[in-house]
Structure formats: structure tokens, C-alpha cells
Amino acid sequence: MKLKEIKVEKLFGIFNHHIKLNNDSRITIIIGENGLGKTVLLEMIEAFFKERYFYFNNVDFESMTFKFDDDITWVLKKDLIKEDLPILNLIQINKNKKEFKPHRLNNFQARDIEMLTRRISRQIPSLSRIGPRAWEDRRTGNIIHQDELLFKYSDYIPNDIYLNNQETPKWFKDRHDSIKISLIETQRLISLEEREEKTHKKTVEKYSMELTKIIKSCLTESTELSSKLDRTYPNRLVNRLKKISNVTDKDLNQELLRLEKKRELLDTVGLIEIEKDSNILEIDNPQDVIRDVLMLYVEDSFKKIEIFDKIATKIETFLDIINRRFKHKKLHIDKENGFLFISTVIFDKEGVAQIIPVTKLSSGEQNELVLFYLLLFKTEANSLILIDEPEVSLHISWQNCFIEDLKQITMLNNLDVIIATHSPDIISNNWNLKVELKGLE
């Protein structure tokens, strides 16, 4: 199931916004003047489906409606009780009306949040504060926001202060958990750079090293499979030779060519290295036994490199997008060093091209690198991706081709996307995808 429409009534007490998602094209572009709540709207969607209900404490709105493509509708309202303590009330509208209160506070005021977060972090040694509303779990490296911290570690909060004492109904949990949401914020470089005082590592460096781990994991898996196939190869070959061969010269040479092309792709994207003069030659009129030996070799070779299929396609797309944009440098993927930028204009005395550290890229280049890395390597299939102001620090020519590249990624990773933007250059020729937020007329 997918979201089909999202409505917010009386956002900031005044604005009514209705967004119909473009589920066919899979991309919806939200535009509107400053102050209408584009960013807040994205944050509200993420907060609800990530169970960060504390976010709604400080958002003034009357109701938020989620309509799904199976015609089920959820209406979320924030009711106020004494001392302005919020209760989130969710109603499911279909044949049988259902109701659930996913967020409730007892004897609690906003000023107590700081006290509670300090209390939790003191009791959990692995948590380290990295900002006014964010902590890092040193065991996993995950960033935990304030509202998430309060929910995740609610056992550390006395029951007389905080209590969500309702059992989550199955009708709510099943649907809620099926909607996967990921928000790419405007400050995508700063969010992790806030930790520099501790780690001295920027986002681009972190993702560069993360990619090497992904590649090495695939290499390990491939090596293990290779060992298994090599051990069983003699027996499998003998069993094959006992049967009448049905392998033709044409079949064999087609498969040898296909294997070579696939290996060349993996070499191009930095996953394997092909030795010079390693190309497999076309075989002319081989004996049946040679056909069978070579065909089994080809089949095993495909199994060994199939492990790289998904990551290879993503890296190929990543390289294509970045290298079409960046000038005077070319991105390569190195299994040891991750992002490897090589100058196309600066050479040393021996004629060797200069290597450019990722931290020396411009802010626009780093933003583009991080944005497309997140979209390609950090999103889960069938997710709804929320992107806030993708135009940040980007040249106009980069903005013009953003949506077309995004279409390619949505198909590759099976994603739906909502974009909030101020830039007509991001929209380019895709005005049919836009939904305009209106103020008071």
C-alpha cells in the first residue's frame, strides 16, 4: 500500500494544505512561498511514521490526514488537555471507524523534556550528546533525535511522568510499519559534521569509507562462494560429462562474450580488477568435452559475480551522475579508499594526475555527492523519500538535470519521492509534477 494524499488543516493556525501524490511518475514536487510550512510538512510526515511523536508538541495544527491507495484514510488530531498537554488522536476511516491514541503525556510539561533526556543519557553510557536535540549511540554510530530518545528509552522515565499505556492495535501497526520513510534534510553536510570535535570526520569521508565496507562485504561473500564452487567443481564436471552434451558453439561463445562484458563493467566501477590480455577468446569447433568444461566454468563465473549485480548498477549510476556534473576531475570508486577523485587538468612532473581529497571538494560538490549517495545507497526499496531543498549549493545546470536523474534512481531503487523546493530550475520541464502550497488569498 502507498500514500495517495496528505492534508494538513490549520498549520500554524492558518494554512490548509492538500497534496495529491504523483504515484504514477513517483515524484511529487512541493513549491510555495517561504513561511507556508514546506519543511515542517516533510518533518511531520517523517515524525509520524518514525514514531517521533514528541515532534508534534511544538507544531500548531488542527489535523493531518493520510489517504492510502486502498481508500483507507487516517486522520491525526492533536487535542489539548489542561496545561496545554497534547494528546495525539488517530482515527481510521473506512467501513468500521477505528480510533487509537499513539501519543499521550501525563503530568508533563515541555520544560521537563530537557530533564528527562539528561536522566536517560546518564543511565546509558553508550549515549553521547552531539547537539541540543541529538545524541550518538557510540555502539552503532546511529544518531538519535530527542523525541526518538524519549520513546526508545521510555522505560527509564517514571510512569507518573510519561505513559503511553495503550496497546498498539494490529490494524494500526501493520499499516504504519509498512510505510518506510526517509528524510534528506537541507543541512545534509552539517548533520554529521556537528560531531567533528569528536570524530574529525566529515559526511563525505564517512560515506566514502562506508562504501568500501559494502564492497568488501560483497568481495568476502564472493570469495566464500568461489571456494564452495571450486571444491565441488570436479564432481559437478564429472556428472555433466556423463550426460550427452547439448552445448553448441554459438551458445558457448555468446556466454563467454556476456561474461567478459560483465567483468569489464565490474572492473570499470571498481569492484574487481581484470588483468591485461585476460579476455576469453572465441572458441572454434571445440570438442564436446571442451564445450562442457568451459560452459561449467562460465556458469560458475556468473554465480561468483552475480553477488555484485545490485551494487554494480548503483555504482555505475553514481559515477555517471557525478562525472557528468563535476568539472576538471573524475570520480573513481576504489575498494580500499572509496571515493577517489582524480584531476583531469593538474599533473605532477612525471605526468601523474593529482588526487583530490573529498574534503577539498566545494560545498556544492559535497552536497551533490552526499545527496546522490543517500538516494542510491542509503534508501530502502519501496520507501517514500522526502527531500528538502535539493538545490542547496548547486549550480543551475546541476539543478536542471536533477529530476531526470532522480527518475532513474526511483526506478532503480523502487522509490517514491516528495521534494520541497524554491527553485524553478529544479522543476525544469517537470511542472506536471508540482503541487503548489497556497497562503491566505
C-alpha atoms less than 13 angstroms from C-alpha of 232 in its C-beta half-sphere? 10
Cell 562506508 belongs to 210
Q: Which pTM value belongs to this model?
A: 0.81
Domain-wise residue ranges, the chain: 1-104+170-186+389-441, 107-162, 209-310
Residues 380-403 have pLDDT tens digits of 999 999 999 998 878 888 999 999
Distance CA 313, CA 318 (A): 9
Q: Which helix (H) or strand (E) holds 318?
A: helix 309-325
In angstroms, what is the C-alpha Rg of the chain?
A: 27
Using alpha carbons only, what angle is made at residue 370 by residues 364 and 375, rounded to the nearest 5 degrees? 125
- Please answer whether residues 36 and 101 qualify as being in contact, where contact means their C-beta atoms are separated by less than 8 angstroms: no
Distance CA 396, CA 416 (A): 24
Q: 313-325 burial, b if ≥16 CB within 10 A, otherwise e?
A: ebbbbbbebbeeb
Q: Burial of 47 by CB count in 10 Å (0-12 exposed, 13-18 middle, 19+ buried)? A: buried
- Please answer whether residues 225 and 303 qualify as being in contact, where contact means their C-beta atoms are separated by less than 8 angstroms: yes
Distance CA 127, CA 381 (A): 30
Whether the pLDDT of residue 196 is over 80: the answer is: no
Q: Which helix (H) or strand (E) holds 130?
A: strand 127-131
Q: Burial of 208 by CB count in 10 Å (0-12 exposed, 13-18 middle, 19+ buried)? A: buried
Sheet architecture: strand order including 134-137: 127-131, 134-137, 143-145
* Cell numbers standing for residue 109: 510539561
Tell me the mean pLDDT in the region 187-194. Answer: 53
* Cell numbers standing for residue 62: 488542527
| Three-state secondary-structure class, residue 70 | coil
Which stretches of 263-406 are assigned E, i.e. beta strand? 329-334, 338-347, 353-356, 383-388
What pLDDT score was predicted for residue 157? 66
What pLDDT score was predicted for residue 67? 94
- Please answer whether residues 340 and 357 qualify as being in contact, where contact means their C-beta atoms are separated by less than 8 angstroms: no
Residues with Cβ within 8 Å of residue 407, at least 6 apart in sequence: 25, 26, 27
CATH 3.40.50 correct for 1-104+170-186+389-441: yes
Residues with Cβ within 8 Å of residue 255, at least 6 apart in sequence: 295, 298
Q: What's the distance, CA 378 to chain centroid? A: 3
Residues 330-381 have pLDDT tens digits of 999 999 999 999 999 999 888 999 999 999 999 889 989 999 999 999 999 9
More confident residue, 249 or 94: 249
Ranges 133-142, 206-215, 221-230: which has the least confidence: 133-142
Number of Cβ within 10 Å of residue 190's Cβ equals: 13
